[in-house]
Chain A
Amino acid sequence: MSKTANKGFRKNFLFIILIVAFVSLPLATMVFADTTSTQFSHQITEGILSVDIVDGAGNTVVSPSVGFSSVSYSFVAQNTTGTLGTASEKIRVTNATTTAAWSLNIAATGGVSAVWSDGGTNTHPYNDVTSADNGRLTVDPSGATLAAVDVGCTTTDITKGTADTFISGTVNSIDLLTAGALAGTGCRWDLTGVSLTQRIPALQEVATYTLGMTLTAL
């Protein structure tokens, strides 16, 4: 065999080897591998809408309270003021549902007939129908601060309520916040700085008065 013919033979032989190798590789895969598929699934169900009063760390405050400014006995009607929602007692609304709209309001726990009371015989109204000077509580959320708690959550489409005064039978609850259809879901918001002003009737007896209030998210 000539040198040229030998070279050609080797070239052809190498080509055949390569072809065989190329074809056999997929065949080997076909023989030795197999797959099957399955679908994993899980459900995250929506949570609930809730409201709570939490401390700076986000923990529930066991016995939340609002201390109004103290006033002295007076022969004329006077105001005492307080703030609902502070750094250590934030009003936290949690919307773990898939429904964007909700509202938050405040009302007396004892209803329209509730009164400020020292636990004894001294009382005065928070919602007097006759006159502001007979005892009325004004709530003003307009100057409050609303902050979204979670990353990706904003205060978009959540509006603060306007100042309003409790009047029995007419204004039994006052809106603090209202979320519209564009508000986020799966979010939490903290409300602080809601102004409270109680008009105390003239000649109200010296005592420590309390009034239970309930915040409702719905």
Chain B
Amino acid sequence: MKRPKNLRKSLSVVLIVPLFLSFILVQLVLADTTQTTLNQLINAGTLAIDIVDGTGTSVVSPSVAFGAVTFSFDPQDATGTLGTASEKIRLSNPTTTVAWNVSMAATGGPGTTWTTGTYTYPFDSTGGADTGRLTVNPTTGTITPIGAGCTNTSVSLGASGFFLNATTNSIDIMAATTGADIGCRWDLTGVSLTQRIPAGQQAGSYTLGMTITAL
């Protein structure tokens, strides 16, 4: 039997309308939006002191070699420099606290001596300068801020001083006060060191461990 033409037309409309509606429904089901806020917390770091090379890498075994002297029957000076292009003293302050201080003291504490393993002499003698004293003079030093926006404002060099057992056991070499930048690093070089060597001190290679503290 041949279908009537109107019936086929009606059937097409009935099929197309649900199809159209289903597209809209699918869209309504599969699309949605919402909003969120990203949070990021940056904690303050810690105050740190290090000795770094020219590229900023930590020096594994830093050292300061004083100028060699020849045996003498008179007291004499040996001089050296703490902080060089290849061994810079780097203070890092990633904290939110502005003030800090860098000091230096013998690793072994007061009464430690320069030693060859056999012969010794003091770095902090109370018996007179000529019996062995180490003078530290930071005023000859240079402070260089590292990083954009960092300056030397309110960062200063320490005053010249010498170790004297029980009286001066540590010497300040650099300090920051109110007004100094935070989130900055500073390199210190050129601190003058002078060791007075007692008369008649035996020939040899002498060493003395020193610790630099930032706090």
Chain A residues in contact with chain B, CB under 8 A? 30-47, 94, 96-98, 149-153, 185-188
Q: B47 on the interface (CB 8 Å rule)?
A: yes
Q: Which residues of B contact A43 (CB under 8 A)?
A: 66, 68-69, 204-206
Chosen A-B contacts, 17 in total, with CB atoms closer than 8 Å, are A34-B48, A35-B214, A37-B62, A38-B51, A38-B211, A38-B212, A39-B210, A40-B63, A40-B80, A42-B65, A42-B205, A43-B204, A47-B70, A96-B70, A96-B73, A97-B71, A98-B203
Interface residues of B (CB under 8 A from A): 46-51, 61-73, 78, 80, 82, 87, 89, 95, 97, 107, 114, 193, 195, 197, 199-215
Taking CB atoms, residues of chain A closer than 8 Å to B199 are 150
Closest 10 CB pairs of A and B: A42-B66, A33-B215, A47-B71, A46-B203, A43-B68, A38-B62, A96-B71, A39-B63, A40-B208, A34-B48
A37 to B108, CA, bound (A): 11
Residue pair B66, A46 in contact (C-beta under 8 Å): no
Nearest-neighbour CB distance to chain A for B83, whole angstroms, equals 10
Nearest chain-B residue to A29 (Cβ)?
B215
CA distance A44 to B72 in the complex (A): 9
Q: Which residue of chain B has its CB nearest to the CB of A151?
A: B200
A11 to B197, CA, bound (A): 60
Complex contact A35–B213 (CB within 8 A) = yes
In the complex, besides A37-B210, A42-B65, A42-B206, 10 extra interface pairs with C-beta distance below 8 angstroms are A36-B212, A42-B114, A44-B201, A46-B203, A94-B73, A96-B73, A96-B203, A97-B71, A153-B200, A186-B71
Across the interface, which residues of B come within 8 angstroms of A94, CB to CB? 73
